[in-house]
Chain A
């Protein structure tokens, strides 16, 4: 049994883009699911459980990414991962100017 294969498109809204901290959160969460997680941008598809792979996407604000999740826990994985992509991280608040 392979379970379902689900897809969802997500547009990156974070002004800093899909940067390293959300990538780490994404990859660590993806690794907790049995399902395979693929993230693609304009035909380039990478393993969502690897930060190094996610770095290849260089997804700035406004980029559309497609998540493809396949396996027994696909629905839960997809929901949780979409949430991570849409949640800004702590460091995205503007930093005070440096004197």
Chain B
């Protein structure tokens, strides 16, 4: 187990190092630097040179990369070009807002998806199973902006029950007005629910066809016990892999959902940074998202190893 942990940690470290290089490379080494982005098209060569010197852009890229990385490690992500404030100061509340959204959606969709998946899986081929399967297929097929749009049309412009945008005043928390969270969370939940439910269902069906389940049935165990003690735990392993993969997907989904509802989270900041060519902001958010993804993958691997006796005991 210790060896397993060490290998995983090393891999994460390497991945993050490569990812940080890639992010820096894409946004820095390419022609057209921050100074050009700030001054825009109407620049004079003199002004460009001065600004480059001020910002240290005249030094080689590797030096700036090392400085950037050391800054990041000490919690200094640079200053935003647009807002002229430290990136960390701006992103702090944004990160919290995104976490509220993502964590709630996760906590709602994953347990319910597993329950419904088991429920549908043990009824394979029934009408209830078909209905659930079709609904989940539609849920994973709709892009988030379509799901969000449908919700807005129904609950906001037609029924008038919910606000169509989820603006949060600076300095306040989305939890002060939880009503604005309902539609963004519902949108995120839809797709996540679809994926996890479909995977659970497929794995339960597979587990029910195994010899150990047949043995359990034949030795006269009650049906619920066969399902919950023999089939479900074995069906959970691949499902956890799907959940961890979905965390990465969720981070992408956040970008869309936050722009649909104008919800001030990391995703919306990212879009703004892209549109305004705010490079330090762009680098910081990308790195944050990539790191979250890598760490959630680590947790999934740990959960997988912990649940899987073959890994837990042997290594």
Is the A/B pair a real complex? no
B residues within 8 Å of A by Cβ? none
